[in-house]
């Protein structure tokens, strides 16, 4: 809920996780979302290896991580695109 936009709309990371089916049972999702939010603030243009390294401390028994990685990379690219137009 800390990542949601005012009015309870999903934040960009949350929406990307939904689009990429980056969660199933959801047990791991809050921790991964918070880590991803902090990671993207620190590393705004990560490559896939950096995202996978950040995820190394998280265990997800459902997704196989591909959707999670794709969601995080998509948000990084979208934010870079938005900031380049600002
Ligand atoms: Fe079930 Fe990650 S979605 S453990």
Work out the mean pLDDT of the chain and round it to a whole number. Answer: 94
Residues 15-44: what's their mean pLDDT?
97
The predicted-structure confidence for 66-78, as pLDDT tens digits, reads as follows: 999 999 999 999 9
Contact 26, 40 (CB under 8 A): no
- pLDDT value at residue 55: 97
CA of 46 to the centre of ligand 1 (A): 23
What dihedral do alpha carbons 59, 64, 67, 72 form, nearest 10°?
40
Mutate to test the pocket of ligand 1, among 35, 63, 64 (most ligand atoms within 8 A of CB): 63
Model confidence, pTM: 0.92
- Residues β-bridged to residue 9: 5
Residue 4: band (very low, low, confident or very high) from pLDDT cuts 50, 70, 90:
confident
């Amino acid at each position: 809920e800390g990542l949601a936009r005012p009015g309870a709309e999903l934040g960009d990371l949350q929406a990307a996780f939904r689009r990429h089916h980056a969660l199933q049972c959801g047990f791991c999702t809050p921790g991964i979302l918070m880590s991803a939010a902090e990671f993207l603030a620190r590393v705004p243009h990560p490559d896939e290896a950096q995202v996978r390294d950040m995820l190394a401390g998280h265990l997800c028994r459902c997704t196989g991580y591909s959707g999670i990685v794709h969601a995080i990379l998509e948000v990084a690219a979208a934010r870079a695109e938005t900031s380049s137009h600002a």
